[in-house]
Structure 1
Amino acid sequence: MNIKWQILTRVGAILVSCLLIVSMVVTIIFIKQGEENVLEEQNTQVLQAAQQIDSMINEIQVFANNMIIDPSVQRALFGSSGKQMSQGEAFYLAVEQLKNFKALRDDIHSIALVTKDNQIVWETKLSDGDYFKELMRQEWYQEIGKTSHAQFSTIHEVADANGHRSKTLSYIVPVYNMQQYQKAKGYIIINLFPDKFENLLQVLEPSYHQITWSQGGRTILTKRFTKNAENNSNFIEQKYKETDLCAYAKNSSISIINPSLMAEFLVILALLVAGLLIMVPTIKYIVEPLKTLSDFMDDTKANYNPLSQIVVPPVSKKHTAKEIIVLNQTFSNLLQELHEQTERRVEYEKKMQQLRTEMILSQVKPHFLYNTLNSISIMARQKNAKNIEDITQSLITLLQKSIVYEDQEMVCTLGEEIEMLKEYTTIQQYRYQDKFSVDIDISDDLLSYPVPRFILQPIVENSIFHGITPKAGQGTIWISAAITEEHFVLLVDDDGIGMEEENIVSALDNPSDEKLQLTVKGSIGLKNLKERLEIIYGEKAQIVIHTQPGVGFSVEIQIPYTEN
């Protein structure tokens, strides 16, 4: 399959995938919005039911309060005579109070006034007198009777004189003396038919599995319409004043066959077709330059020579996408960089070979000098010429350690480098009659780190010859080492005559300027050291110079640091 059909297939797959994803997202959003609307509607229904129940309770509370403050009730409970009211008087009192509460006439089952010790003062129920006695013996009444505020009971059953049992909801209100504040002496019990409350909750059956009515923290009524109400349902709780309704609402399924949703699908499908029609010329616009570049890459791969300069054929900027132009240029830059790297590598190998040759040739003189000086040292010892013996022995040791055979590395430990440097400075101190002193401040844990051989000797030589010997009086050379985050640092300072910093920096930056190299003192040794560091470490090593006429000369060598 060529690149054109590959792009067509993949872009088409991307468009179809995008269509499916967008369709799924739109469907999920639509269903989610529908569920949120249903949930909001269910919350509103439960809240409205709670408000209606609270309105009914409020009317019952007002009726009960009017009964409590009625003088006949106060006299019956707090009067001195202790005379009880007859059922007829109690019935008349209830009828008089209900004149102002027409909505409660059919809801009240019976009313009674009882004392704290459960003695009936009067009742409206025309029965054999055992009705309220049985009522007060029930468990719910025993719990409510311990409180000091009005409460509803749970729905319970009570039998009348004929043995007929009926469901009743009791509202119990403590009665206080209206003349003086004291503890409640009795209660008014108002028994209600719970039909209205049950019917109000029954209306919610189509949308709910179960609904529970609580009043003041006490569960009054639970209507369970289906089994396993807690499964696959939304829990809703609405509280209005003291009325609390908890419901398990049914999950309503939202149909995806919706006109607005279908219209969105059609729009997305139309966009897909339009995208495919636009894609064909666009792909041609992209593919042709890519094919040209691909063919050139194949040809380069088959006939590539890194030492040859290869030019990538340019593309037309007028009819080619910017990204393809960048790709073409990037490939061209890659070939150019590879060519330059190859040239640098060839040059590097030449320098390394030249360095190896020079090192091998340089071994001839040290061997000859070593043998000759060894003979001089023996003769000086026989003649008791201590100075001649010491300087000769230092030179022998220096020459011996400077010989690098072909199978040896061009590096040594810093400790070995310091020992060779001490031998060298010993010779120079005899030569210049203690013109200078050397102060070495390097901790023992740094002496095992590997450094290039003779990395310090050329710098110390420059300090002696070009810095201290031209100076009046004695001079000092300080040598130290340190470790930074990325480098192992060697530092050589002197208090010689110094020079203009820009001159020495210019000489190091222009190694091909032979006239400048001869003019600036000490630059040749530093230039050779810089080339050696570049061969070993590449661009990771640096030489930093700070100098000032009359102040001194400082050389800082930074080589890459690794813990191993």
Structure 2
Amino acid sequence: MNLSIKLKIILSTFLVVAMSLSASSFFIYNYVTGIIKEQSIEENTIKLNQVTQQLTKMQEQVKKTTAYIILDEKLNKLTNQNFQDDYDLSFYAIYETELELRRYVAFSDNIIDIILLRDDGMLFSSNRTFESYYQEKIKESWFTDYIDRGYNAGFSGVHDIFVNSTRTEQVISYITSFKNTEIDSAHKFTLILNVNRANIENIFEKSVSDFENLILLNRDNQIIASSYASEEFSNMDIVEKSMDKSKSYVEDRENIAISNILGYDGWKQIAVIAKDKLLGKINWIFVYFIVIVAASLLLALLIMIPTILNITKPISKLVAAMKKVSRGNLDTSLTIQSRDELEIMGKVFNRMVSDLNEYMTTSINDEKVKRRMQLDLLISQINPHFIYNTLNTIIYLTRANRNQDVIVITDSFIRILQDTIKTGEEAIFATVAEELAIIQNYLTIQNYRYPDMFDVEFLVNEDVLNMQIPRMVIQPIVENALFHGIHPAEHRGNLKIEIKLHSDYISVAITDNGIGMDGTTMNQIFKGSKKLSTNHQTRSIGLNNIKERLAALYGPNEYNINIVSHVGQGTKVEFSFYPKAI
């Protein structure tokens, strides 16, 4: 019984539908997991809010202490005095200020010490013995970076500070600037309250069992405190994602993160919860569903594999054959015996490849003939440019009985004609030495036509002489330089021919000191414009002939031609291309 591919696909689809039970099992699992996860996240959010309230309360206490200090009349009078050189008055003010500031430290559980910095550099603190130490401390980055950012008030990053001669503590400084406008000639002050970071860590320790990590960031996203032992949490990506307040939480493969913004100074609190801990209660459900799905998949595969192979094997053969064809192998054929539409497709493919092979062979042969005819036609356009004038010169010399000159010019003319009737590969390419010989013969003829009118300079690297280049690409440019540049000029002409070998290409430059041309004419010649005068159109035909030949031999983007010309100064034509190896 021959089954169509349509029927085979229908039967396979019917078997796939039978697996919907597995899909429904996964749906139930995901649904239950989602409910439990949402409940757990809600519980952890409540716990995070409790931590946030404690931290906010600490911030409020620090801000209230700051307000009390700023409004303290006694402190304002003591610190705004003009001490000048009065040592006793200065000592008294510093001592009384220290007592006042210590009183504020004693009333707060969070503040270690207080520093009051006057705008003239004078420093007051709650620990007078450390004033010189504080003077150096405020030069560190925790203070200078904060000032540079231009904040009016707020908390700095974490830094160390000595609390006595042998012990240091990590602190977070609350910094604010103020000036008492009720006092004449009042100074501007910077108030620094050093908050004990250990108090924040104590709050975190009470919640360490609830979260994988608890992180507190300041407004610059610097870590203030973390329940992580190293204070370096590896998965900072999820911390950044948790800042998106449009979502109640964010998650990745391993963790879930929830966040809160504290009430002051842009502090952000982030709680990271490990998924394996959060969903540990329902892992056994996942294992149960995995067993059901695995059994269903195994049964379905046992049923579907034979049918799938019957369909995919011919298709795989067809794909492999198509890849061979795409790589240029047109001798490819395949055999499919599936007794359905795939077998018909294989036969059509073989017929298509056979027709394509025949078409490509014909096209290649036609293109070779076309290319040969095109090159022959382009080369043939060059010869009539100087044949007529050369014959006239020979007639003139003959009438003048200059027989030796007739022999020389005729020999040069014959050598040029011999070069034009070459066939095969020699009709397309020639060595640099052969091209230079043609130019020498051509210039010999022109010297008889225009005696003492020009000088020629050859600058040719010896290592290019045996390189093969397109034949007759230099002579038309030399001809243009003589007839359209040097000949119309009133002074003796100089013609320079340079041929250089670069890393992987050859450059040819023909320079004359003739009459030159303006930019408009130069662009029209380069583009082969029909608006040119008859004189300039002759020059354009020679240049376009070379451009078309180089494009036919190398491709439109594998050569370069450039013209530089100035009126009264001359013209330089330079072109480059890849040499053909001998």
For the superposition of Structure 1 and Structure 2, which TM-score range results when normalised by the shorter chain? 0.3 to 0.5
What TM-score results when the alignment is normalised by the length of structure 1?
A: 0.38
